[in-house]
């Protein structure tokens, strides 16, 4: 299971001192080291951690920056100190994010005829292009998963009733994804810590994967090899994130683009695209 010291979900909300000490310990800093990095006195930092002093908004902002917290956690730190969170977190459907949605839509269209998806901080798929629907639908139609789990990229890979049953190289591919989750947990993602616990409970998940630092991948490019009867696909994928976002939701967004790893997959994508008369994209926002 994931280590509880890696995220703040179990730290009492509303207590700035507890959160500050929590994150200093996660970053493996002494009070003197953090005080030096923030250019404040060690005495003042000690008073903040014990609750003897209350921080200003500027101090909260400074400490969140020095601790290199995700924007979601900087929001939590502000709320714990009694301030309005400075970074937006209303979801991808927020009115002010319309230009971003248009940009994401454009990127997915450019990925045609190959699959492209947009994943949020919970690893839920929020947008997908027609290439994704065309090529992966035969597998998705055969999912045997509860509720909306099939729309979560991590659950879809690790659940025995999801893509896992069709993935020829599942152990290799899943091990790579676990490493990504461990990195996100170490960076402070509460959602990734929860996901790591959930998928670790699935049967067949290696006990080694439940701990950070397990063996690294042997290949620089990890392929996803799928087979359902005679229908076979092989992809490698890339992740793209948004540069310098000032919105907590956007900081967690990932655009995953799938590229054919062999000519047979590329030809299948072209053939299905040529016979597709539907819309060029399909998406939802959350």
Residue 89 lies in a domain: no
Check whether residue 69 and residue 124 sit in a common domain: no
Residue 90 lies in a domain: no
Check whether residue 139 and residue 249 sit in a common domain: yes
Residue that finishes a domain, picked among 57, 80, 103: 80
Within the chain, what is the greatest distance between any pair of CA atoms?
70
CATH code (residue 224): 3.30.450
Q: Mention every residue, 6+ apart, whose C-beta is less than 8 A from residue 47.
A: 53
Residues listed for the chain: 286
Q: Residue 267, preceding bond cis, omega within 30 degrees?
A: no
Residue 87 lies in a domain: no
Check whether residue 158 and residue 263 sit in a common domain: yes
- Model pTM above 0.75: yes
CATH code (residue 20): 1.10.260.40
Check whether residue 46 and residue 184 sit in a common domain: no
Closest CA to 202 of 273, 272, 146: 146
Check whether residue 24 and residue 99 sit in a common domain: no
Check whether residue 109 and residue 219 sit in a common domain: yes
Residue 111 lies in a domain: yes
Check whether residue 68 and residue 203 sit in a common domain: no
Q: What is the pLDDT along the chain (286 residues), one digit of tens a residue?
A: 334 334 444 444 458 999 999 999 989 999 999 999 999 999 999 999 999 999 999 999 999 999 999 998 999 999 999 999 998 877 888 888 899 999 999 999 999 999 999 999 999 999 999 999 999 999 999 999 988 898 999 999 999 999 999 999 999 999 889 999 999 998 888 889 999 999 999 999 988 888 887 645 555 677 899 999 999 999 999 999 988 888 888 989 999 999 999 999 999 999 999 988 765 455 555 4
Please give the tally of structural domains in the chain. Answer: 2
Check whether residue 104 and residue 244 sit in a common domain: yes
Check whether residue 103 and residue 167 sit in a common domain: yes
Say how far apart CA 243 and CA 147 lie, in whole Å: 33
Residue 242 lies in a domain: yes
Q: Which two tokens stand for residue 86?
A: 């400075």
What pLDDT is stored for residue 6 in this prediction?
41
Check whether residue 57 and residue 119 sit in a common domain: no
Check whether residue 99 and residue 232 sit in a common domain: yes
Domain holding 74, by residue range, is 4-80
Phi, psi of 235 (to 5 degrees): -130, 155
Burial bucket for residue 156 (CB in 10 Å: 0-12, 13-18, 19+) = buried
Residue that finishes a domain, picked among 20, 46, 80: 80
Check whether residue 145 and residue 267 sit in a common domain: yes
Residue 88 lies in a domain: no
Residue 48 lies in a domain: yes
Residue 92 near residue 103 (C-beta atoms within 8 A): no
Residue that finishes a domain, picked among 50, 80, 110: 80
């Amino acid at each position: 299971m994931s280590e509880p010291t890696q995220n703040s979900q179990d730290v009492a909300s509303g207590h700035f001192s507890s959160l500050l000490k929590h994150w200093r310990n996660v970053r493996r800093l002494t009070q003197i080291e953090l005080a030096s990095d923030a250019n404040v006195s060690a005495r003042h930092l000690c008073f903040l951690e014990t609750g003897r002093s209350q921080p200003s908004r500027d101090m909260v902002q400074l400490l969140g920056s020095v601790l290199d917290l995700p924007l979601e956690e900087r929001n939590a730190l502000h709320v714990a100190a009694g301030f309005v969170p400075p970074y937006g977190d209303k979801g991808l459907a927020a009115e002010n994010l319309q230009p971003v949605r248009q940009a994401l839509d454009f990127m997915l269209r450019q990925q045609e005829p190959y699959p492209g998806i947009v994943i949020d901080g919970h690893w839920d798929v929020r947008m997908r292009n027609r290439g994704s629907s065309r090529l992966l639908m035969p597998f998705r139609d055969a999912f045997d998963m509860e509720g909306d789990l099939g729309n979560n990229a991590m659950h879809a890979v690790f659940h025995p009733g999801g893509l896992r049953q069709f993935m020829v190289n599942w152990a290799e591919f899943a091990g790579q994804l676990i490493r990504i989750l461990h990195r996100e947990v170490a960076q402070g993602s509460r959602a990734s810590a929860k996901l790591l616990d959930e998928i670790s409970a699935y049967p067949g998940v290696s006990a080694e994967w439940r701990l950070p630092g397990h063996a690294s991948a042997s290949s620089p490019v990890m392929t996803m090899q799928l087979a359902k009867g005679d229908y076979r696909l092989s992809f490698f994928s890339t992740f793209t994130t948004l540069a310098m976002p000032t919105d907590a939701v956007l900081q967690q967004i990932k655009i995953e683009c799938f590229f054919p790893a062999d000519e047979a997959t590329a030809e299948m994508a072209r053939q299905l695209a040529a016979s597709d008369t539907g819309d060029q994209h399909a998406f939802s926002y959350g």
